[in-house]
Amino acid sequence: MTFEVVYEDNHLLAVVKPAGLLVQGDQTGDVTLLDLARDYRKRKENKPGNVFVGLVHRLDRPVSGLVLLAKTSKGASRLSEQFRSREVRKLYLAVCQTEPGARFAVGQKYHWVDRLSRPGTVEEPSAGKIQLAQTNAEIRALGQGVLLAGLEPTTGRKHQLRAQAALHGLPILGDRRYGATRSFENGLALHALALAFKHPTRSEPMLVVAPPPRVWQSFGWDPSLFRPGDDFHLGLPES
């Protein structure tokens, strides 16, 4: 596996992670995005020794899309603080199947506010384990009996988007853990589309965007047509 670079300067490296690639190491020992990013810097900058690549946020292994990396310790520290203080805006796209009793209407915008009992679950909340999860959602029709959802989380719970989509009757394709019955190539039909943040040294507003993989075109929608505006409005194509 490899990645695509969508933005780079002296402090930042914004890349597109393919579904199935780990961001950082785990018990599997598989090659990670960090491994590949370090190798990329070594080759590009002709550095024989160690190079710095700082991880400031993560994506689940089966999710594709944007990951922001830092090339300096200053960049890593300042970007990490932006993520901790929720200054970074994150926009995802998901292809979802529908279930009976789903709470949505095509073409509408929602502010989902849910209580999750534990990270990564949608079970009935239990005392002492409740976490509030909030997401802005916009639903559009798509081909082949599925829906397109634009999702902007305003909190950062584990598996938040996957759990909330399922809770509202819209499990993401390929996400059998949360009730999906339809598979999806290479993982989940969940893609980190855009990040809006401040540059760590220049403090100017930044917007980086990466369209979903080509496989999304099999649902009858051209991902190259969608780009969030400067105001970060979801702005999904009309059904």
For 3-25, how does the pLDDT look when each residue is reduced to its tens digit (9 = 90+)? 999 999 999 999 999 999 999 88
Q: Distance (Å, rounded) from C-alpha 22 to C-alpha 63?
A: 10
Q: What are the tokens at 216?
A: 């999304």
> Is 60 a residue of the active site?
yes
Average pLDDT over residues 81-100: 91
At residue 93, the pLDDT reads 92
Active-site hit among 26, 30, 35, 60: 60
What the chain holds in terms of domains, given with CATH numbers, is 4-215 (3.30.2350.10)
At residue 213, the pLDDT reads 86
Confidence tier at 81 by pLDDT (50, 70, 90): very high
- pTM score of the predicted model: 0.90
For 23-73, how does the pLDDT look when each residue is reduced to its tens digit (9 = 90+)? 988 888 899 999 999 999 999 999 888 899 999 999 999 999 999 999 999
